[in-house]
Amino acid sequence: MNTANKLTMLRVIMIPAFLLVLYSGIPYANYIALAVFVVASLTDLLDGYIARHYNQTTDFGKFMDPLADKCLVIAAMLWFVEIGQMPAWALLIVVVREFAVSGLRMQAANLGHVIAAGWSGKVKTASTMGCICLMLLPIPAVVNVICVAVIVVTTLYSGIEYLVVNRAVVSNMK
């Protein structure tokens, strides 16, 4: 297993660690969970850089890297829903968008096309990760509402953009 794939697997292992810290009830659990989340998020940047820079791109990495990202983000959002910090409908928007984009990519692959990550998807990912970091801190309720709004708006925008830009793939679905 190459270095990029090892970093992806580290991120996968960090997801249950992140949740265990949150559920532990230990003092400063949110701060420890924040540190775990930040390190896990940084492994995503690092493994992508290593994979591209050192030509370590693999089919395993292409599959597992986005899956690890989605699991990390959804784990955090499930926690926020459970503690009443995020409405379930906001999480549903995120999950539906991820399924829709993944389905669109699978359909494109069936047609021999690759759908690269778009600018809005990268903005969505960065803003979501940043908002999750903020939401793990003791922030005022208004900041929490703003974070949820940013996550929902960037998620909707990037999902709609993927569908519009790739409407030819959508129209070829049978």
Compute the radius of gyration of the chain from its Cα atoms.
17
Overall number of domains in the chain: 2
Same domain for 104 and 47: no
Give SS3 for 86: coil
Residues 95 and 25 in one domain: no
Asked if 138 and 169 sit in the same domain, the reply is: yes
Pair (68, 122) in one structural domain:
no
Reported pTM: 0.92
What pLDDT, in 10s, does the model give residues 133-159? 999 999 999 999 999 999 999 999 999
Digit-coded pLDDT (tens) for 158-172 = 999 999 999 888 787
Q: Which domain holds residue 8?
A: 1-72
Distance, CA of 131 to CA of 153 (rounded, Å): 12
| Residues contacting 32, CB < 8 A, separation 6+ | 21, 26
Query: pLDDT digits over 13-49, tens only?
Result: 999 999 999 999 999 999 999 999 999 999 988 988 8
Residue 77 lies in a domain: no
Same domain, yes or no, for 104 and 44? no
Instruction: Answer with the one of 23, 50, 72 that is the final residue of a domain.
Output: 72
